[in-house]
Amino acid sequence: MSDPFANRGNRDASVVNPRPGGTADGSRHSGPTRPGRTGDPFLIGENMRGGYGKADILNGCTLAVEKGQIAVIVGPNGAGKSTAMKAIFGMLNLREGSVRLDGQDISALNPQDRVKAGMGFVPQVANVFPTMTVEENLEMGAYLRGDDFRQTMQQVYELFPAVADKRRQNAGELSGGQRQQVAVGRALMTQPKLLMLDEPTAGVSPIVMDELFDRIIEIARTGISILMVEQNAKQALEIADIGYVLVQGANRYTGTGAQLMADPEVRRTFLGG
Ligand SMILES: Nc1ncnc2c1ncn2[C@@H]1O[C@H](COP(=O)(O)OP(=O)(O)OP(=O)(O)O)[C@@H](O)[C@H]1O
Ligand SMILES: [Mg+2]
């Protein structure tokens, strides 16, 4: 029987919406991977078009990051930044475009198989399990792994000592900054090659933000690529190898962090002068 509400409502298959009306969900079967293209960046979501219902939110946007580099996406509220992240992670079916990672076209993979292919994703909202302890959150992050993950957990605790001190405490009792550290740590538990962060510094103080950015730089130096959406645009572009300004689901400006910071038009329109 066809679903009379199939074209209505929230078609997003994120963790906060376990029963999407929509186009993708975590249990959907993966299709095959195909070879990527010669000269591809490490990750590229290319010419992405798609949305939640009939209207497209992404209008041909392209985002890419090289190995061990930091790519930052900025843009006004509602520009489609989170939607682009979901598309790259496979939580949103694309009408057009492709996602290619490490030499493979992974457009047909579901999110679970994208994790296996090397993606780690920290969504903008609901990125920890609040009623589970910090340690249980990290264990949940590792659930796709069949091997011994204790060493990875130790590395996460070394990266975020504040989190290590709270390992027996429920994640919901932590400060905003500590919770973001748990969320990043959880994503690191699968030893991703690409770490995707949607507003990791939302709601944290400037000092905690600087600290988190330092840790993100440290993660990138180990060879992990970072694709990050940030509302703290100036500070994020300072640490970016490449920056994207996204407007209405399309690329408006692209350049190195320094180039975007130096562009008077970008400064005036998107960085508050
Ligand atoms: N689950 C959803 N179902 C339907 N529409 C959605 C859903 N999520 C987002 N949208 C719509 O898609 C558009 C882009 O939203 P998105 O969350 O990608 O923007 P954003 O750039 O991440 O914004 P913000 O800076 O506020 O996080 C908005 O118009 C929003 O209303
Ligand atoms: Mg968003």
At residue 144, the pLDDT reads 85
Between the CA of 230 and the centroid of ligand 2 the distance, in Å, is 9
What phi-psi label fits residue 19: left (phi over 0), alpha (psi between -120 and 50 degrees) or beta? beta
User: Does residue 180 have its Cβ closer than 6 Å to ligand 1?
Assistant: no
At residue 145, the pLDDT reads 87
At residue 261, the pLDDT reads 94
User: Does residue 81 have its Cβ closer than 6 Å to ligand 1?
Assistant: yes
| 31-118+195-202+227-273: in CATH 2.40.30.10 | no
Across-strand partners of 64? 44
Angle at alpha carbon of residue 108, lines to 102 and 113, rounded to 5°: 65
Mean pLDDT in runs of 10 for the chain (273 residues)?
42 44 59 92 98 94 98 97 97 96 96 96 94 97 91 97 96 94 97 97 92 96 98 95 98 96 93 81
What are the domain boundaries of the chain? 31-118+195-202+227-273
At residue 20, the pLDDT reads 41
Q: Which of 228, 219, 231, 206 is nearest to 72 (CA)?
A: 228
pTM of structure = 0.90
- Are 85 and 75 spatial neighbours (Cβ–Cβ below 8 Å)? no
Between the CA of 239 and the centroid of ligand 2 the distance, in Å, is 20
User: Does residue 23 have its Cβ closer than 6 Å to ligand 1?
Assistant: no
* Residues 238, 148: Cα–Cα separation, whole Å: 37
Question: Which of 52, 73, 89, 251 for a ligand 1 pocket mutation test, highest count of atoms within 8 Å of Cβ?
Answer: 52
At residue 143, the pLDDT reads 87
At residue 27, the pLDDT reads 66
